[in-house]
Amino acid sequence: MSGDRGSQTPVLKLVAGGERIDVSTSPPNRDLDWAILMARAQDGDGAAYQRLLQEITPYLRSLAARRHRSADDIEDAVQDILLTIHSIRHTYDPTRPFGPWLATIGERRSIDRLRRRSRHQRRETPLQPEHEAVADVGVDMEGKSNRRELERAISDLPPAQQMAIELLKLKEMSLKDAASASGMSINSLKVNTHRALKNLRKILLGRNEL
């Protein structure tokens, strides 16, 4: 116990070796290492403590991953467990196996966190589009009217130019695909697109000026 700090290692080996069968979640040697590291940490050995926390973090992460889904939640849970371990590290008895002590803290904190989350969620409602107090009317109407105006302008173009704009700009096909779909040559597609854009600019600007 706390009296025989100098001869701690052999004592730990004997006792932890006898009881470690029920530690299903961590291999026996690791459990023994962790017990020794924790015993040193209780005596104020910061380096041993840092090594211990670093080594148990992946295990805690897998423990938390059983209860939580998002990576942020898992990381939050791991940190919560680490802080809890820190605040009650004096409750660990080095003559007993470390695994069950750690596993209970991990389990309890994860479950507690889950409960707290579900309590929060029960009070919250996800924000839906119908919760918007002001409908987003203006922008949408403008978009629609612009679209209609453009469609009308395109329909005023000669058929070859209409086809070129339709395939290359609205459907965003490649020149090669457009050529095989329309039966026009790549060159004439280019020329027609160029002319169509020029005409459209003229039509639309002319209308706006009216």
Partner 1 sequence: MIKTPDLIASLSTNLTPVRRLRPPLMRAFGWLLLAAMVLTLLAVAQGIRPDLAQRLRDPAFASCMAASALTGILAAVAAFLVSLPDRSRLWLMLPLPSLILWLSNIGYQCLADWVSIGPEGIGMGEAARCFATLVLTSLPLSLALLVMLRYAAPLRPTAVTIMGSLAVAAITATALSFFHTMDATVMILMWNIGTAVIFVGFAGTFGRTIFRWVTPRVDAPH
List residues near partner 1 by CB under 8 A.
1-2, 41-47, 49-50, 53-54, 57, 72, 75-76, 78-80, 82-84, 86-94, 96-97, 100-101, 104-105, 108-109, 112
Distance CA 209, CA 201 (A): 12
Task: Give min distance, CB of 3 to partner 1, in A.
Answer: 10
Task: Give min distance, CB of 78 to partner 1, in A.
Answer: 6
Of 20 and 157, nearer to partner 1 (C-beta) is: 20
Of 116 and 207, nearer to partner 1 (C-beta) is: 116
Report whether 74 contacts 64 (CB < 8 A): yes
Of 6 and 183, nearer to partner 1 (C-beta) is: 6
Of 3 and 126, nearer to partner 1 (C-beta) is: 3
C-alpha dist (Å) from residue 153 to 159, 167, 192, 198:
12, 16, 15, 12
Distance CA 163, CA 144 (A): 22
